[in-house]
Amino acid sequence: MHISLRLRVSSIPMVLLAMLVSAMLVSAGGTPLTQAQAEARLLPSGITASSEGRCTNKSNPQCTSYVGILSGTVDGVIALKKAAGVPSLVITGGTEVGHPGGVYSHGTGFKVDVRHQPGLDNYIHTAFLKIGNRGDGFPQWKGPSGNLYCDEGAHWDITFY
């Protein structure tokens, strides 16, 4: 009797801990992926990477890296390509160093840079809501789930929340 009561009491913090951990794992951005895990999802979907250095090293700003990219970001890019109906999509920036920091940034796995193409640009312009320019003057569109599509001129800078 005494023992079972102790077990029951001590199981309460365990349940709370489990709830906290699962809430963290299913947060908006999902879970961080390895380079190989991200490629395994993106490549069969027709989504490739491009970089000046033709490399994937997260510590080199010349590379386009998927190391630590969030699963929700990867799912978001795949969904965007499908919705836009374009045959291919090119990611020109991932989690590599050299981008501004912040909670929702490239380094934390929430952002990708995506190459412009007419089908994609038209889709973003028509399907999403044009909102005020970003602080640096670049125009941005907002999706129904809050995702931000900022046209930085050279490419789209997309934040998946």
Smallest distance from ligand NAG to CB 57, Å:
4
Give 38: exposed, middle or buried? Use CB within 10 Å, 0-12, 13-18, 19+. buried
Smallest distance from ligand NAG to CB 106, Å:
16
In the set 37, 45, 48, 60, which binds ligand NAG (CB under 6 A)?
60
Retrieve residue 74's tokens.
């990867």
Smallest distance from ligand NAG to CB 63, Å:
8
Nearer to ligand NAG among residue 93 and residue 143 (C-beta): 93
Exposure string for 96-121, b = 16+ CB within 10 A, e = fewer? beebeeeeeebbbbbbbbbbebeebe
In the set 22, 31, 59, 133, which binds ligand NAG (CB under 6 A)?
59
CB 148 within 8 A of CB 104: no
**Stretches 16-24, 52-60, 117-125, 148-156: which one binds ligand NAG (CB under 6 A)?**
52-60
**What's the gap between Cα 21 and its chain centre?**
20
Smallest distance from ligand NAG to CB 69, Å:
17
Residue with structure tokens 């993106």? 42
Smallest distance from ligand NAG to CB 29, Å:
24
Q: Does 57 bind ligand NAG (CB under 6 A)?
A: yes
Total residues binding ligand NAG (CB under 6 A): 3
- Residues interacting with ligand NAG, by CB under 6 A? 57, 59-60
